[in-house]
Amino acid sequence: MLEGLIVKALSGYYYVKPLREGNVVSGEDPSVQCRARGIFKKRGVSPLVGDRVMYSLTENGEGTVEEILPRSSQLIRPPVANVHLAVLLFSVREPDMSLLLLDKFLVHIEHSDLKALICLTKQDLADDSGDSTEEVKRVYEKIGYEVIVTSSLQGVGTEEVKERLAGQISVFSGQSGVGKSSLLNALMPGLSLETSEISMRLGRGRHTTRHVELIELDNGGFVADTPGFSQLDFLELGVEELSSCFREFIPYAENCKFRGCSHTHEPGCQVIQAKEDGDIADSRYKHYVDFFTEMKDKKRRY
């Protein structure tokens, strides 16, 4: 049997790149179109893009996925395995930056136990918003997140982003229309991924990405180019887990007066005190309360 990496899944086929000694064979090497063994379906397991697998070749030049090797991580949405880094792309303008949505993405990333890189795109469109971009950068870097400001048009920050993607599988996610495809085209000239203009009436872009696929970079990295999301829900997250997904809350929450403190109204809450003292950003705390309320409302409805 041979070892490979699933780089695309489409219409029941898995496209597997051969691996040699743990490394993907050069980019020119074509992927092998494979079906998965029926045993996976019986076990309720599906191969995912990003899976390292053992496969065998069939007489017609195709292959069969025989075994899925152990995963280091697994995302439900998008369905990708072995991701190490989540790159969250949010534009400075067109569409305007939504910190509420950024914080919602960060909650999901923290819950998935992934590293996050915040990428502020379209810096070339910044005019009077330049100061707010720096403020966003300051707030999130203080929390401990890595933030890179980019412009695909001007080539700003693209090399820095590319260095962070080397030798690992990363997933690109974020608001629709923020320039995910444009950034990927800037990272790998010649990709020519489809991009779309922003609908000014809706203030968001059309979804140009139809399925999950790993795009191979020339530095050993792979990027999962995934559909843009207009919304996320919290169905896979328990309300009691929410505060731990706001990483700056953790050192204060340990010293709250009451165990199981919700950090919304309790006396002696150190998270609220830290917000009052300016140690936790007002926007982050407000979004925490918004998410907490949303989750409680959903729990009551179900």
Give the residue numbers of the binding site for Zn(2+): 256, 261, 263, 269
- Annotated binding-site members: 121-124, 174-182, 256, 261, 263, 269
Residue 110 near residue 234, CB atoms below 8 Å: no
ω into 95 cis (within 30 of 0): yes
Residues 6+ apart with CB under 8 A from 257: 266, 267, 268, 269
Q: Is the dihedral of CA 251, 271, 293, 92 positive or negative?
A: negative
Helix (H) or strand (E) holding 130: helix 130-143
| CA atoms of 34 and 66, how far apart (whole Å) | 10
What is the Cβ-side half-sphere exposure of residue 90, based on CA atoms within 13 angstroms?
Answer: 22
Nearest Cα residue to 8 out of 193, 224, 275, 230: 224
| CA atoms of 249 and 245, how far apart (whole Å) | 8
- Annotated binding-site members for GTP: 121-124, 174-182
